[in-house]
Amino acid sequence: MHAIFLPRDHVEAVQAKAAAGEAPWAQALEKLLAAGEAGLQQPPLSLCQNGGSKYFRQDAVYVPGQDGVRNEASNMKSGALAHRLSDVCLDLAMCWRFTGEARYADKALQLAHAWCLDRATYMFPEGRVDDAWTPGAQYGGDVVLFLAFHEFFLACYLLDDYGGWEPRAHAATRRWIRAMVEPQRPTMFHDSHEMYNNWDDARCIYLLNGALALDDLDLAIEVFERWAHTLPLKMTEEGFLPRETMRTRSMTYTLAALSHTLHIAHVAERFGVKLLDLTVNGRTIRKVVDTTAHYLLHMDQWPYEMIKPMSKESPNDRIGQAFEIAYGHWGDRRYLDAINAWGGRPAGCATLLYASAGGA
C-alpha cells in the first residue's frame, strides 16, 4: 500500500514547485531537509533510557482531579522518548521519499531497530501502557501510547518499499508493530459507555497508521467503518465536539480530535472511501471544520473554557494537519487563513504530507 499515501505523483509535484521556488513548497522542503540533517545526528533511542525498564510505563499528565493542569512531578519520559523516535523517524523517512538518498532511510531504520529489535534496548510491545512509572501514582492511560507511536508507524509505512531494508529485520519490525496494534482493535469503553472522543480518534489514527505499516487492508477498513459510525455521535448540529468542549483546554482538544479525524478521512480518500464528504444523519465533518475555522479566526468569541491560551508564535502542527487537509480538499480560503493566523505555512510536515500540490 506504499503508493496510497504520499504517492509518487504528489512527491514529484512538490519537488517541481520547490525547485521553482514556489511558496510554501520550497520553504517546507527546506525545513524538512534541515530536520533530516539534524536527525542524522540522533543517537539511538531506547525506552530503557527511562530507568532501565523495557515496559512502557508513564504517570498521568494532569494532576488528579484537575483536568488540564499538568503535573510537573509526573514522569513522562517514556512518552517523550517515543515521541522523539517518531518525530525523527518520520522526518528521515520523508527526506528519503523526497530525495531518494539512502542515508536518511538507513538512519531511520537504525533508530527503529534499536527501539524495536535489538535485545539490549528494545521495548516490550505490549500495545498498552503497562502502569504508572512512579509506584502508587495514577497511570497515563493508553492514549499516551497512541499519541507517541502513530507517527512512528507512518514512518515505517513510508520506508516500506526501501530496498535497503533487510527482509528479516523488516519482517521482525512488522511483528513488533502487529503486537502493538492488536490489543487496541476492540472498541474502547468508559463506565460501560462506548468512547467516541479524542481518545478514540487517537486510537483510530494509531490503528490506521499501523495498518499502513502492516499492509493490512482489513484493519484499515475497520477504521474507516468506525469513523463513519462515530461521526454523528461525536458532533453537534452546530459543528462542536462536545466531548472536547467540556474539557478545560477545549480548543486544544477539539484540534487534537479534528486533526486525527481528518487524517483518517484523507487516507480513506486515497483508498476510494469517501469520508470527507460523507453525511450521516444530516451531519458531516465539514461542519466541524467550518465551525472550528471560524473560532480560530475569532478566538475572542470561543464560548468554552481555555485555562491556557494557545500560542501564535510558531506553526501549530494540529492546525496545520487539519486545515491543510481541509484546504486541499475543499479549497475554502478560511482554512488557509486559519493556518496563517496560527503560525503560518509551512506547518511542519503537514504541508508536505497533506496539502494539495495542485493548488496554491
Q: Are 157 and 219 in contact (CB under 8 A)?
A: no
Helix intervals (H) in 182-281 = 198-214, 217-234, 242-245, 250-270
How far is CA 38 from its chain centroid? 21
Q: Are 82 and 47 in contact (CB under 8 A)?
A: yes
Which of 78-87, 173-182, 187-196, 256-265 shows the lowest mean pLDDT across its residues? Answer: 187-196
Which of 111-115, 155-159, 348-352 shows the lowest mean pLDDT across its residues? Answer: 348-352
Catalogue all structural domains in the chain, each as residue range(s) with its CATH number: 1-20+230-360 (1.50.10.100)
| Cis bond before residue 24 (omega within 30° of 0) | yes
pLDDT of amino acid 358: 67
Averaged pLDDT, 44-50: 98
Place of cell 481518545: 199
Rounded CA-CA distance 259/49 in Å is 30
Q: Are 277 and 335 in contact (CB under 8 A)?
A: no
pLDDT tens digits along 54-69: 999 999 999 999 999 9
Rounded CA-CA distance 357/327 in Å is 11
pLDDT above 70 coverage of the chain, percent? 99
pLDDT of amino acid 217: 97
pLDDT of amino acid 224: 98
Confidence of residue 360 (pLDDT cuts 50, 70, 90): very low
> CA 276, 279, 284, 285 torsion: positive or negative?
negative
pLDDT at 3 over 80: no
Rounded CA-CA distance 105/274 in Å is 32
Averaged pLDDT, 87-102: 97
Helix intervals (H) in 66-197 = 77-99, 102-116, 143-158, 167-181
Of 188, 51, 181, nearest in space to 126 by CA: 181
pLDDT at 176 over 60: yes
Averaged pLDDT, 239-258: 97
Averaged pLDDT, 195-201: 93
| CB neighbourhood size of 31 (10 A) | 19
Averaged pLDDT, 247-252: 97
pLDDT at 359 over 90: no
Mean pLDDT of the chain: 95
Q: Give the relative orientation of helices 333-341 and 317-330 as an angle to the nearest 10 degrees.
A: 160
pLDDT of amino acid 2: 67
pLDDT at 72 over 90: yes
pLDDT tens digits along 289-328: 999 999 999 999 999 999 999 988 778 899 999 999 999 9
Q: Are 107 and 34 in contact (CB under 8 A)?
A: no
